[in-house]
Structures are given as structure tokens and as C-alpha cells.
Amino acid sequence: MNTNPVGWFEIYVQDMDRAKRFYESVFQVQLERLNSPVEMEIELWSFPMKSDQFGASGALVKMENGPGGGNGVLIYFTCTDCAVEAGRAATAGGQIIRERMPIGQYGFIALIQDTEGNMIGLHSMQ
């Protein structure tokens, strides 16, 4: 891993309007609507990001049957090819929840579960 490990986070919500008001109020920011990068209906509102500063950005996410509430936060680790790390996770005793899939101009993601039952995301541009 040649970069900072976390490249993106998602906070899954059940009520987007309520969650958006909460985060905008607490952090005094305006969240920005993102177009869904996949064909399924996903509503995304991103936190502001300054690419020349330290840290990662992320978004509030609402999707049908998506997680929400306790532990509904998904951290994405940046990879060269997320399929490689997903394969390693399965070999190391974890589980692949979602195979590598395209997310349009944003590259690719895979979802894995660690040996403790935690789901994490993997992101790559290839």
C-alpha cells in the first residue's frame, strides 16, 4: 500500500433529509448531491473535499435495503486493483460480499467482510 489507507467513507442512512440536516448542522457545511454511479437507485450527498489537503471525503448514502443505524458506516480502502485485495480477503478467512463492480467514472469497488463480521469497501481506478 503506497498511499494513505482510507480513500472514502460512506454513512448509510434510512432518512436522507433528516441525516443531511444533521450533518450540515453539526459540521456547518453544505453537502453536494452526487449522481448515482450505478444503475440501481442510490442517493448520495457528499461532504466537501479539498484535494490539496490531508484526509478523505465521503458521503451520506441511501439505497433500498441498505444498512442504516448502528454500524452503518462503510470505510473504503484505496487499492491498485480492488479485485486483488478482495481475493486476498477470501484467502485470509474473510468473505467477498460484492465482487469488483464498476462505478462509472469513479472506478471500481468491491465489498468484503473481515473475520470479525465487519464490512469494508475496496476502491480502485482499474
For residues 59 and 118, membership in a common domain is answered with no
pLDDT digits (tens, 9 = 90+) for 65-103: 676 666 668 889 888 999 999 999 999 889 999 999 999
Domains in the chain, number: 2
Is residue 74 a part of any domain in this protein?
no
CA angle 5, 40, 112 (to 5 degrees): 35
For residues 3 and 51, membership in a common domain is answered with yes
Task: Give the domain extent around 87.
Answer: 79-126
For residues 63 and 88, membership in a common domain is answered with no
| Closest alpha carbon to 103 in 14, 23, 27, 8 | 8
CB-based burial, 104-115: b 16+ in 10 Å, e otherwise: eeebbbbbbeee
For residues 11 and 30, membership in a common domain is answered with yes
pLDDT over 90 at 25, yes or no: no
Mean pLDDT, rounded, for 34-44 = 79
Tell me which of 46, 69, 92 is where a domain ends. Answer: 69
For residues 62 and 9, membership in a common domain is answered with yes
For residues 64 and 117, membership in a common domain is answered with no
For residues 2 and 63, membership in a common domain is answered with yes
For residues 65 and 85, membership in a common domain is answered with no
Entry pTM: 0.70
Confidence (pLDDT) at 116: 78
CATH (domain of 96): 3.10.180.10
For residues 4 and 58, membership in a common domain is answered with yes
pLDDT-based confidence at residue 1 (cuts at 50, 70, 90): low
Confidence (pLDDT) at 30: 95
